[in-house]
Amino acid sequence: MERHETVTDEDPGPLVRLFGLTGGRARPHGETFDLVAIVKTSRLPFEPAGLNPEHQTILSICRRPTPVADVAAQLGLPLNITRVLLGDLRSDGLVTIDPPQSADQTIDERTYREVLHGIRRL
């Protein structure tokens, strides 16, 4: 039984605004996702209605596949707030969140070599 809680009744200030974005929730809907899980905006035949500006910004950022950590940094929001927003968008079918490949299990030698070359090129 998980009992991680992040909401506090002390030191409100900015937290009130932040958790206002999530309706007070500190954990996202559904399966948890990694910091570098890849978020993609779903292609939809219609404009989704009733989204707040943060949601819209996420949809705009993730037209290109973007890792969760990058989404948070671009939004300027804490990670767990970002995750709640992403969880909402996922349950509404507006984004997909692909788990990252684990380096030790799924990255082949060619990718390693590419990474090496990429670093040397810098």
Partner 1 sequence: MEFAGSDRLRPTGRSLAAATALKILVAGGFGAGKTTLVGTISEIRPLHTEELLSDRGMGVDDISGVETKVTTTVALDFGRITIREDLWLYLFGTPGQDRFWFMWDELSLGALGAVVIADTRRLQDCFPAVDYFEQRSLPFVVAVNCFDGARRHDPAKVRRALGLDELTPVVMCDARNRASVKDVLTTLVTHAVGAAYQSVP
Site membership for partner 1, residue 102 (CB under 8 A): yes
Judged by CB under 8 A, which stretch of 46-54, 87-95, 109-117 contacts partner 1?
A: 109-117
Nearer of residues 77 and 89 to partner 1, judged by Cβ: 77
User: Which among 28, 29, 44, 52 is positioned nearest to 93, based on CA atoms?
Assistant: 44
For residue 24, what are the β-bridge partners? none
The rounded radius of gyration (Å) of the Cα atoms in the chain is: 17
Site membership for partner 1, residue 67 (CB under 8 A): yes
Are residues 103 and 37 in contact, defined by beta-carbon separation less than 8 angstroms?
A: no
- One of 30, 52, 63, 79 touching partner 1 (CB under 8 A): 79
- One of 29, 34, 42, 48 touching partner 1 (CB under 8 A): 34
Are residues 22 and 45 in contact, defined by beta-carbon separation less than 8 angstroms?
A: no
Judged by CB under 8 A, which stretch of 49-57, 65-73, 84-92 contacts partner 1?
A: 65-73
Cα separations in angstroms, 24 against 5, 9, 39, 83 = 11, 11, 23, 13
Using CB under 8 A, list all residues that contact partner 1: 3-11, 15, 18, 26, 34-36, 38, 40, 65, 67, 69-70, 72-74, 77-82, 98-112, 114-120, 122
